[in-house]
Structure 1
Amino acid sequence: MKLKYYIPNQHGAWAMLIVPFLFGMIIAEPNPQHLLLFVCWLLVYLMMFPILQWIRTKKTIQYLSPILFFGTLLVPFAIWLIVLRPKMILIALMFIPLFLVNAYFAKTKNERALINDIAAIVQFSLMVFISFEIGEGTNYSAAMELFFVSILYFVGTAFYVKTIIREKNNRSFYYFSVGYHVCLVLLSMCFLPWMMVLSACVLLIRALWFPRMKISVKQSGISEIVFSIVVLLSVWLSYGI
Protein backbone atom coordinates (compact mmCIF):
# COMPACT_ATOMS: atom_id res chain seq x y z
CA MET A 1 0.00 0.00 0.00
CA LYS A 2 1.51 3.31 -1.13
CA LEU A 3 0.42 6.21 1.04
CA LYS A 4 0.60 8.66 -1.86
CA TYR A 5 -2.54 7.03 -3.26
CA TYR A 6 -4.36 7.38 0.08
CA ILE A 7 -3.18 10.66 1.60
CA PRO A 8 -3.90 13.91 -0.30
CA ASN A 9 -0.83 15.95 -1.21
CA GLN A 10 -2.72 19.25 -1.22
CA HIS A 11 -1.58 20.60 2.13
CA GLY A 12 -3.67 23.77 2.00
CA ALA A 13 -6.85 21.70 1.78
CA TRP A 14 -6.44 20.56 5.39
CA ALA A 15 -7.07 24.10 6.62
CA MET A 16 -10.13 24.32 4.34
CA LEU A 17 -11.31 21.03 5.81
CA ILE A 18 -11.12 22.26 9.40
CA VAL A 19 -11.65 26.04 9.47
CA PRO A 20 -15.22 26.24 8.01
CA PHE A 21 -16.23 23.31 10.22
CA LEU A 22 -15.06 25.23 13.30
CA PHE A 23 -16.72 28.43 12.05
CA GLY A 24 -20.07 26.63 12.17
CA MET A 25 -19.39 25.27 15.65
CA ILE A 26 -18.42 28.69 16.98
CA ILE A 27 -21.78 30.24 16.13
CA ALA A 28 -23.81 27.20 17.23
CA GLU A 29 -23.74 24.81 20.19
CA PRO A 30 -21.00 22.14 20.01
CA ASN A 31 -22.33 18.66 20.67
CA PRO A 32 -21.23 15.00 20.18
CA GLN A 33 -22.79 14.91 16.72
CA HIS A 34 -20.13 17.33 15.56
CA LEU A 35 -17.56 14.57 16.05
CA LEU A 36 -19.64 12.23 13.90
CA LEU A 37 -20.00 14.94 11.28
CA PHE A 38 -16.26 15.57 11.20
CA VAL A 39 -15.48 11.87 10.79
CA CYS A 40 -17.86 11.77 7.79
CA TRP A 41 -16.40 15.01 6.39
CA LEU A 42 -12.84 13.72 6.73
CA LEU A 43 -13.67 10.40 5.06
CA VAL A 44 -15.51 12.17 2.23
CA TYR A 45 -12.44 14.32 1.62
CA LEU A 46 -10.09 11.33 1.74
CA MET A 47 -12.33 9.46 -0.72
CA MET A 48 -12.74 12.38 -3.12
CA PHE A 49 -8.96 12.72 -3.52
CA PRO A 50 -8.43 9.29 -5.16
CA ILE A 51 -11.66 9.69 -7.16
CA LEU A 52 -10.38 12.91 -8.73
CA GLN A 53 -6.93 11.39 -9.24
CA TRP A 54 -8.53 8.41 -10.96
CA ILE A 55 -10.53 10.74 -13.22
CA ARG A 56 -7.32 12.60 -14.07
CA THR A 57 -4.98 9.65 -14.59
CA LYS A 58 -7.30 6.69 -15.35
CA LYS A 59 -5.04 4.57 -13.08
CA THR A 60 -7.78 2.26 -11.85
CA ILE A 61 -5.47 -0.26 -10.19
CA GLN A 62 -3.75 2.36 -8.03
CA TYR A 63 -6.80 4.37 -6.99
CA LEU A 64 -9.57 1.77 -6.72
CA SER A 65 -8.24 0.46 -3.39
CA PRO A 66 -8.25 3.83 -1.57
CA ILE A 67 -11.69 4.65 -3.03
CA LEU A 68 -13.12 1.40 -1.71
CA PHE A 69 -11.22 1.68 1.58
CA PHE A 70 -12.47 5.15 2.49
CA GLY A 71 -15.90 4.52 0.98
CA THR A 72 -16.36 1.40 3.12
CA LEU A 73 -15.36 3.34 6.23
CA LEU A 74 -17.68 6.20 5.31
CA VAL A 75 -20.90 4.22 4.79
CA PRO A 76 -21.70 3.27 8.44
CA PHE A 77 -20.82 6.73 9.76
CA ALA A 78 -22.85 8.43 7.01
CA ILE A 79 -25.87 6.21 7.69
CA TRP A 80 -25.58 6.95 11.42
CA LEU A 81 -25.48 10.70 10.74
CA ILE A 82 -28.43 10.55 8.31
CA VAL A 83 -30.52 8.58 10.82
CA LEU A 84 -29.86 11.28 13.40
CA ARG A 85 -30.16 14.17 10.95
CA PRO A 86 -32.14 13.23 7.79
CA LYS A 87 -31.77 16.80 6.52
CA MET A 88 -28.10 16.02 5.79
CA ILE A 89 -29.17 14.22 2.59
CA LEU A 90 -30.62 17.42 1.15
CA ILE A 91 -27.64 19.50 2.25
CA ALA A 92 -25.23 17.01 0.68
CA LEU A 93 -26.89 17.58 -2.72
CA MET A 94 -25.41 21.11 -2.76
CA PHE A 95 -21.94 19.60 -3.19
CA ILE A 96 -22.72 17.67 -6.38
CA PRO A 97 -22.57 20.55 -8.94
CA LEU A 98 -19.36 21.89 -7.40
CA PHE A 99 -17.78 18.44 -7.38
CA LEU A 100 -18.67 18.05 -11.05
CA VAL A 101 -16.68 21.23 -11.74
CA ASN A 102 -13.67 19.68 -9.98
CA ALA A 103 -14.18 16.45 -11.92
CA TYR A 104 -14.21 18.36 -15.22
CA PHE A 105 -10.95 20.13 -14.47
CA ALA A 106 -9.40 16.87 -13.28
CA LYS A 107 -10.43 15.18 -16.54
CA THR A 108 -8.93 18.02 -18.57
CA LYS A 109 -5.80 18.01 -16.36
CA ASN A 110 -6.27 21.67 -15.50
CA GLU A 111 -6.67 21.49 -11.72
CA ARG A 112 -4.73 24.73 -11.24
CA ALA A 113 -7.45 26.75 -12.96
CA LEU A 114 -8.85 29.53 -10.79
CA ILE A 115 -12.46 28.40 -11.37
CA ASN A 116 -11.53 24.95 -10.09
CA ASP A 117 -9.95 26.47 -6.98
CA ILE A 118 -13.01 28.60 -6.31
CA ALA A 119 -15.37 25.64 -6.76
CA ALA A 120 -13.35 23.66 -4.21
CA ILE A 121 -13.28 26.61 -1.80
CA VAL A 122 -17.06 27.04 -2.00
CA GLN A 123 -17.51 23.29 -1.36
CA PHE A 124 -15.38 23.40 1.77
CA SER A 125 -17.02 26.64 2.94
CA LEU A 126 -20.49 25.05 2.76
CA MET A 127 -19.40 23.14 5.86
CA VAL A 128 -20.10 26.35 7.82
CA PHE A 129 -23.83 25.77 7.28
CA ILE A 130 -23.69 22.04 7.96
CA SER A 131 -21.76 22.42 11.21
CA PHE A 132 -24.09 25.28 12.15
CA GLU A 133 -27.12 23.05 11.47
CA ILE A 134 -25.71 20.16 13.51
CA GLY A 135 -25.17 22.58 16.39
CA GLU A 136 -28.78 23.81 16.06
CA GLY A 137 -27.62 27.36 15.56
CA THR A 138 -30.16 30.14 15.29
CA ASN A 139 -28.09 33.11 14.06
CA TYR A 140 -28.46 32.56 10.31
CA SER A 141 -27.08 36.01 9.56
CA ALA A 142 -23.81 35.11 11.29
CA ALA A 143 -23.70 31.78 9.43
CA MET A 144 -24.03 33.57 6.10
CA GLU A 145 -21.35 36.09 7.08
CA LEU A 146 -18.91 33.36 8.04
CA PHE A 147 -19.68 31.43 4.86
CA PHE A 148 -18.52 34.44 2.86
CA VAL A 149 -15.61 35.08 5.24
CA SER A 150 -14.46 31.52 4.58
CA ILE A 151 -14.69 31.93 0.81
CA LEU A 152 -12.95 35.32 0.78
CA TYR A 153 -10.19 34.14 3.13
CA PHE A 154 -9.36 31.01 1.15
CA VAL A 155 -9.59 32.74 -2.25
CA GLY A 156 -7.11 35.31 -0.90
CA THR A 157 -4.91 32.48 0.33
CA ALA A 158 -5.02 30.88 -3.13
CA PHE A 159 -3.86 34.17 -4.69
CA TYR A 160 -1.14 34.62 -2.08
CA VAL A 161 0.18 31.06 -2.46
CA LYS A 162 0.44 31.56 -6.22
CA THR A 163 2.72 34.57 -5.58
CA ILE A 164 4.97 32.24 -3.58
CA ILE A 165 5.03 29.36 -6.07
CA ARG A 166 3.70 29.48 -9.63
CA GLU A 167 3.48 33.26 -10.04
CA LYS A 168 6.47 34.22 -7.90
CA ASN A 169 8.07 36.19 -10.72
CA ASN A 170 4.84 37.75 -11.94
CA ARG A 171 4.73 41.29 -10.57
CA SER A 172 1.26 41.93 -11.99
CA PHE A 173 -0.15 38.95 -10.14
CA TYR A 174 1.58 40.10 -6.94
CA TYR A 175 -0.12 43.51 -7.20
CA PHE A 176 -3.43 41.79 -7.94
CA SER A 177 -3.05 39.67 -4.79
CA VAL A 178 -2.21 42.72 -2.69
CA GLY A 179 -5.13 44.65 -4.19
CA TYR A 180 -7.47 41.79 -3.35
CA HIS A 181 -6.33 41.84 0.28
CA VAL A 182 -6.75 45.61 0.45
CA CYS A 183 -10.36 45.07 -0.66
CA LEU A 184 -10.75 42.47 2.10
CA VAL A 185 -9.68 45.04 4.68
CA LEU A 186 -12.15 47.60 3.31
CA LEU A 187 -14.99 45.07 3.22
CA SER A 188 -14.19 44.03 6.79
CA MET A 189 -14.27 47.65 7.93
CA CYS A 190 -17.71 48.10 6.35
CA PHE A 191 -19.43 44.87 7.34
CA LEU A 192 -17.57 42.90 10.01
CA PRO A 193 -16.59 43.24 13.71
CA TRP A 194 -13.35 45.06 14.47
CA MET A 195 -11.46 41.85 15.36
CA MET A 196 -12.13 40.65 11.82
CA VAL A 197 -10.67 43.89 10.51
CA LEU A 198 -7.47 43.18 12.45
CA SER A 199 -7.17 39.69 11.00
CA ALA A 200 -7.77 41.10 7.49
CA CYS A 201 -4.90 43.54 8.13
CA VAL A 202 -2.67 40.64 9.18
CA LEU A 203 -3.52 38.83 5.93
CA LEU A 204 -2.75 41.98 3.95
CA ILE A 205 0.69 42.19 5.59
CA ARG A 206 1.22 38.52 4.67
CA ALA A 207 0.33 39.21 1.03
CA LEU A 208 2.58 42.28 0.95
CA TRP A 209 5.63 41.01 2.81
CA PHE A 210 6.04 37.28 2.48
CA PRO A 211 6.47 37.12 -1.31
CA ARG A 212 9.26 39.71 -0.99
CA MET A 213 11.01 37.53 1.59
CA LYS A 214 11.36 34.68 -0.96
CA ILE A 215 10.17 32.14 1.61
CA SER A 216 10.11 28.47 0.65
CA VAL A 217 6.99 26.45 -0.05
CA LYS A 218 7.51 24.58 3.23
CA GLN A 219 7.84 27.84 5.20
CA SER A 220 4.71 29.16 3.52
CA GLY A 221 2.80 26.01 4.45
CA ILE A 222 3.87 26.20 8.08
CA SER A 223 3.00 29.90 8.28
CA GLU A 224 -0.48 29.19 6.93
CA ILE A 225 -1.20 27.19 10.08
CA VAL A 226 -0.51 30.36 12.07
CA PHE A 227 -2.67 32.53 9.82
CA SER A 228 -5.54 30.04 10.00
CA ILE A 229 -5.34 30.21 13.79
CA VAL A 230 -5.38 34.02 13.62
CA VAL A 231 -8.56 33.95 11.54
CA LEU A 232 -10.18 31.35 13.81
CA LEU A 233 -9.36 33.38 16.92
CA SER A 234 -10.78 36.54 15.39
CA VAL A 235 -14.00 34.69 14.51
CA TRP A 236 -14.25 33.18 17.98
CA LEU A 237 -13.67 36.55 19.68
CA SER A 238 -16.16 38.25 17.33
CA TYR A 239 -18.96 35.66 17.20
CA GLY A 240 -18.41 33.10 19.92
CA ILE A 241 -18.12 35.11 23.13
Structure 2
Amino acid sequence: MKRFIPNQHGAWSMLVLPFLLGMAASQAKLLHIPLFLCWLLIYLFIFPLLQGVKTRRFDRYGPPLKVYGLLLLPFAAYLIVTEPKLLWFALPALPLFAVNLYYARTKNERALLNDIAGILLFCLMVFPVFYIGGGTDWGIAGELFILALLYFVGTALYVKTIIREKNNPRYYYASVIYHGLFLLAGVVLFPSLTVPLLILLARAASLPKTKITAKRTGILEIGFSVMLYISVCVLYF
Protein backbone atom coordinates (compact mmCIF):
# COMPACT_ATOMS: atom_id res chain seq x y z
CA MET A 1 0.00 0.00 0.00
CA LYS A 2 2.99 2.33 0.39
CA ARG A 3 3.10 2.50 -3.41
CA PHE A 4 -0.52 3.66 -3.53
CA ILE A 5 -0.92 5.93 -0.50
CA PRO A 6 1.43 8.92 -0.07
CA ASN A 7 3.14 8.86 3.32
CA GLN A 8 3.49 12.64 3.64
CA HIS A 9 0.81 13.60 6.16
CA GLY A 10 1.32 17.34 5.85
CA ALA A 11 0.78 17.22 2.08
CA TRP A 12 -2.89 16.45 2.63
CA SER A 13 -3.29 19.90 4.16
CA MET A 14 -1.73 21.46 1.06
CA LEU A 15 -4.09 19.42 -1.07
CA VAL A 16 -7.26 20.50 0.75
CA LEU A 17 -6.72 23.96 2.27
CA PRO A 18 -6.26 26.00 -0.96
CA PHE A 19 -9.29 24.21 -2.40
CA LEU A 20 -11.43 25.14 0.62
CA LEU A 21 -10.15 28.72 0.59
CA GLY A 22 -11.18 29.07 -3.05
CA MET A 23 -14.66 27.83 -2.18
CA ALA A 24 -14.88 30.12 0.86
CA ALA A 25 -14.20 33.14 -1.36
CA SER A 26 -16.87 32.15 -3.91
CA GLN A 27 -19.77 29.70 -3.73
CA ALA A 28 -19.92 25.95 -3.45
CA LYS A 29 -21.07 24.38 -6.72
CA LEU A 30 -21.75 20.79 -7.75
CA LEU A 31 -18.88 21.03 -10.24
CA HIS A 32 -16.52 21.37 -7.28
CA ILE A 33 -17.06 17.67 -6.54
CA PRO A 34 -15.55 16.31 -9.79
CA LEU A 35 -12.95 19.08 -9.63
CA PHE A 36 -11.80 17.93 -6.20
CA LEU A 37 -11.84 14.27 -7.22
CA CYS A 38 -9.73 15.16 -10.26
CA TRP A 39 -7.35 17.18 -8.07
CA LEU A 40 -7.07 14.30 -5.59
CA LEU A 41 -6.35 11.80 -8.35
CA ILE A 42 -3.74 14.11 -9.88
CA TYR A 43 -1.95 14.16 -6.53
CA LEU A 44 -2.24 10.39 -6.13
CA PHE A 45 -0.92 9.95 -9.69
CA ILE A 46 1.98 12.38 -9.29
CA PHE A 47 3.26 10.77 -6.10
CA PRO A 48 4.19 7.37 -7.64
CA LEU A 49 5.35 9.15 -10.82
CA LEU A 50 7.91 11.17 -8.85
CA GLN A 51 8.90 8.07 -6.90
CA GLY A 52 9.41 6.21 -10.16
CA VAL A 53 11.54 9.04 -11.55
CA LYS A 54 13.59 9.11 -8.35
CA THR A 55 14.18 5.35 -8.00
CA ARG A 56 14.07 4.45 -11.72
CA ARG A 57 11.79 1.60 -10.67
CA PHE A 58 8.67 2.04 -12.75
CA ASP A 59 8.12 -1.69 -12.44
CA ARG A 60 7.35 -1.04 -8.77
CA TYR A 61 5.31 2.15 -9.24
CA GLY A 62 3.63 1.14 -12.50
CA PRO A 63 0.51 -0.36 -10.85
CA PRO A 64 -0.52 2.80 -8.92
CA LEU A 65 0.24 4.90 -12.01
CA LYS A 66 -2.10 2.75 -14.09
CA VAL A 67 -4.86 2.70 -11.46
CA TYR A 68 -4.83 6.42 -10.76
CA GLY A 69 -4.31 7.29 -14.41
CA LEU A 70 -7.36 5.29 -15.48
CA LEU A 71 -9.46 6.82 -12.71
CA LEU A 72 -8.22 10.32 -13.54
CA LEU A 73 -8.98 10.30 -17.27
CA PRO A 74 -12.82 10.41 -17.13
CA PHE A 75 -12.85 13.18 -14.51
CA ALA A 76 -10.29 15.25 -16.43
CA ALA A 77 -12.19 14.75 -19.70
CA TYR A 78 -15.50 15.72 -18.08
CA LEU A 79 -14.05 18.92 -16.63
CA ILE A 80 -12.36 19.90 -19.89
CA VAL A 81 -15.59 19.40 -21.84
CA THR A 82 -17.69 21.17 -19.21
CA GLU A 83 -15.29 24.04 -18.46
CA PRO A 84 -12.53 24.18 -21.12
CA LYS A 85 -11.17 27.41 -19.60
CA LEU A 86 -9.84 25.31 -16.72
CA LEU A 87 -6.95 24.38 -19.00
CA TRP A 88 -5.61 27.93 -18.70
CA PHE A 89 -5.28 27.45 -14.93
CA ALA A 90 -3.12 24.38 -15.53
CA LEU A 91 -0.47 26.25 -17.54
CA PRO A 92 1.35 27.89 -14.57
CA ALA A 93 1.56 24.46 -12.91
CA LEU A 94 3.63 22.93 -15.72
CA PRO A 95 6.98 24.68 -15.03
CA LEU A 96 6.51 24.09 -11.30
CA PHE A 97 5.96 20.40 -11.91
CA ALA A 98 9.07 20.39 -14.11
CA VAL A 99 11.03 21.62 -11.08
CA ASN A 100 9.64 18.72 -9.02
CA LEU A 101 10.65 16.29 -11.76
CA TYR A 102 14.18 17.68 -11.83
CA TYR A 103 14.67 17.33 -8.08
CA ALA A 104 13.18 13.83 -8.12
CA ARG A 105 15.56 12.90 -10.93
CA THR A 106 18.54 14.21 -8.95
CA LYS A 107 17.26 12.53 -5.75
CA ASN A 108 17.20 15.88 -3.95
CA GLU A 109 13.46 16.24 -3.46
CA ARG A 110 13.95 17.58 0.09
CA ALA A 111 15.55 20.77 -1.26
CA LEU A 112 13.80 23.91 -0.07
CA LEU A 113 13.40 25.21 -3.64
CA ASN A 114 11.63 21.99 -4.56
CA ASP A 115 9.35 22.41 -1.55
CA ILE A 116 8.50 25.96 -2.60
CA ALA A 117 7.74 24.87 -6.18
CA GLY A 118 5.40 22.18 -4.84
CA ILE A 119 3.76 24.65 -2.47
CA LEU A 120 3.17 27.11 -5.31
CA LEU A 121 1.61 24.33 -7.36
CA PHE A 122 -0.77 23.36 -4.56
CA CYS A 123 -1.71 26.96 -3.68
CA LEU A 124 -2.56 27.84 -7.29
CA MET A 125 -5.62 25.62 -6.84
CA VAL A 126 -7.32 28.59 -5.17
CA PHE A 127 -7.93 30.17 -8.58
CA PRO A 128 -9.73 27.41 -10.56
CA VAL A 129 -11.86 26.65 -7.50
CA PHE A 130 -12.71 30.35 -7.21
CA TYR A 131 -13.56 30.46 -10.91
CA ILE A 132 -15.83 27.42 -10.74
CA GLY A 133 -17.58 28.97 -7.74
CA GLY A 134 -18.49 32.04 -9.75
CA GLY A 135 -16.26 34.37 -7.77
CA THR A 136 -15.88 37.90 -9.08
CA ASP A 137 -13.43 39.61 -6.71
CA TRP A 138 -10.13 38.21 -7.91
CA GLY A 139 -8.35 40.45 -5.44
CA ILE A 140 -9.71 38.32 -2.59
CA ALA A 141 -8.66 35.15 -4.41
CA GLY A 142 -5.17 36.61 -4.76
CA GLU A 143 -5.03 37.48 -1.06
CA LEU A 144 -6.03 33.95 -0.07
CA PHE A 145 -3.44 32.54 -2.46
CA ILE A 146 -0.77 34.68 -0.77
CA LEU A 147 -2.01 33.64 2.67
CA ALA A 148 -1.83 29.94 1.78
CA LEU A 149 1.58 30.39 0.14
CA LEU A 150 3.08 32.21 3.13
CA TYR A 151 1.59 29.67 5.52
CA PHE A 152 2.91 26.60 3.71
CA VAL A 153 6.37 28.07 3.08
CA GLY A 154 6.59 28.72 6.81
CA THR A 155 5.40 25.19 7.46
CA ALA A 156 8.12 23.78 5.19
CA LEU A 157 10.77 25.66 7.17
CA TYR A 158 9.24 24.64 10.50
CA VAL A 159 9.00 20.95 9.57
CA LYS A 160 12.66 20.91 8.56
CA THR A 161 13.59 22.12 12.07
CA ILE A 162 11.93 19.00 13.46
CA ILE A 163 13.08 16.38 10.97
CA ARG A 164 16.08 16.83 8.66
CA GLU A 165 17.49 20.04 10.13
CA LYS A 166 16.59 19.50 13.78
CA ASN A 167 20.21 19.95 14.84
CA ASN A 168 20.79 22.98 12.64
CA PRO A 169 20.23 26.19 14.66
CA ARG A 170 20.30 28.32 11.51
CA TYR A 171 17.18 26.62 10.20
CA TYR A 172 15.47 27.08 13.56
CA TYR A 173 16.20 30.80 13.67
CA ALA A 174 15.25 31.17 10.00
CA SER A 175 11.90 29.51 10.74
CA VAL A 176 11.19 31.68 13.79
CA ILE A 177 12.23 34.88 12.00
CA TYR A 178 10.12 33.94 8.98
CA HIS A 179 7.06 33.38 11.15
CA GLY A 180 7.72 36.66 12.93
CA LEU A 181 7.80 38.46 9.57
CA PHE A 182 4.70 36.53 8.52
CA LEU A 183 2.94 37.85 11.63
CA LEU A 184 4.03 41.42 10.88
CA ALA A 185 2.89 41.11 7.27
CA GLY A 186 -0.38 39.61 8.49
CA VAL A 187 -1.05 42.64 10.67
CA VAL A 188 -1.05 44.70 7.47
CA LEU A 189 -2.54 42.25 4.97
CA PHE A 190 -4.78 40.11 7.20
CA PRO A 191 -5.35 42.06 10.43
CA SER A 192 -8.31 39.90 11.42
CA LEU A 193 -6.04 36.82 11.39
CA THR A 194 -3.44 38.17 13.83
CA VAL A 195 -4.24 35.63 16.57
CA PRO A 196 -3.94 32.53 14.31
CA LEU A 197 -0.65 33.86 12.93
CA LEU A 198 0.59 34.43 16.47
CA ILE A 199 -0.25 30.79 17.26
CA LEU A 200 1.76 29.69 14.21
CA LEU A 201 4.73 31.73 15.45
CA ALA A 202 4.46 30.10 18.88
CA ARG A 203 4.35 26.69 17.17
CA ALA A 204 7.53 27.42 15.19
CA ALA A 205 9.35 28.67 18.30
CA SER A 206 8.31 25.99 20.80
CA LEU A 207 7.61 22.62 19.16
CA PRO A 208 11.11 22.07 17.66
CA LYS A 209 12.43 22.15 21.24
CA THR A 210 10.28 19.16 22.16
CA LYS A 211 10.65 15.51 21.17
CA ILE A 212 7.69 15.58 18.80
CA THR A 213 7.86 12.93 16.06
CA ALA A 214 7.59 13.50 12.32
CA LYS A 215 4.26 11.65 12.18
CA ARG A 216 2.73 13.73 14.96
CA THR A 217 4.08 16.86 13.31
CA GLY A 218 2.25 16.00 10.09
CA ILE A 219 -0.97 15.23 11.93
CA LEU A 220 -0.73 18.47 13.91
CA GLU A 221 -0.28 20.39 10.68
CA ILE A 222 -3.70 19.17 9.60
CA GLY A 223 -5.06 20.70 12.81
CA PHE A 224 -3.26 24.01 12.20
CA SER A 225 -4.65 24.07 8.66
CA VAL A 226 -8.17 23.56 10.02
CA MET A 227 -7.56 26.40 12.47
CA LEU A 228 -6.47 28.71 9.66
CA TYR A 229 -9.43 27.76 7.46
CA ILE A 230 -11.99 28.30 10.21
CA SER A 231 -10.32 31.60 11.12
CA VAL A 232 -10.58 32.77 7.50
CA CYS A 233 -14.24 31.79 7.27
CA VAL A 234 -15.20 33.39 10.61
CA LEU A 235 -12.92 36.42 10.80
CA TYR A 236 -11.80 37.31 7.28
CA PHE A 237 -15.07 37.61 5.37
Name the TM-score class by shorter chain.
Answer: over 0.9
Q: Which residue of 1 aligns with 2:205?
A: 208
- Deviations 1:37-86 (Å, cap 9, x if unpaired)? 00000000000011111111111211122111111111111111111111
Partner of 1:198: 195
Corresponding position: 1:22 with 2:5: no
Q: TM-score, normalised by structure 1?
A: 0.95
Gaps of at least 5 residues in structure 2 are none
Within the candidate set 36, 39, 48, 1:38 is matched to 36
Identity, in percent, stands at: 51
How far is the alpha carbon of 1:214 from its aligned partner? 2.2
Q: Tell me the equivalent position of 1:148.
A: 146
Corresponding residue for residue 104 of structure 2? 106
Query: What's the RMSD between the two structures over aligned residues?
Result: 1.0
- Provide the secondary structure at the position in 2 that maps to 1:5: coil
Instruction: Give aligned pairs, total.
Output: 237
Q: Which amino acid aligns with 1:128?
A: V
Q: Distance in 2 between matches of 1:50 and 1:70?
A: 10
1:157 to 144, 155, 158: 155
Quote the offset at 1:166 in angstroms.
1.1
What is the identity, as a one-letter code, of the residue corresponding to 1:204?
A: L
Runs of 4+ in 1 over 4 A off after TM superposition: none
CA contact (8 A) 1:26 1:239 kept: no
Unaligned runs of 5+ in 1: none
Look up the equivalent residue of 2:13 and give its one-letter code.
Answer: A
Q: For the residues of structure 1 that align with 2:79 and 2:100, how far apart are their CA atoms?
A: 25
Could you report, residue by residue, the CA deviation over 1:90-127 in whole angstroms, capped at 9, with x for unpaired residues?
21122111000000000000001011000000000000
Q: Which residue of 1 aligns with 2:84?
A: 86
1:167 match: secondary structure? coil
Q: Give yes or no for contact 1:178–1:204 (8 Å, CA) kept in 2.
A: yes
Measured in 2, the distance between the counterparts of 1:239 and 1:136 equals 19
Alignment-mate amino acid for residue 105 of structure 1: Y
What residue in structure 1 maps to residue 127 of structure 2? 129
Aligned residue type for 2:46: M
CA contact (8 A) 1:102 1:111 kept: yes
Quote the residue 1:217 is aligned against.
214
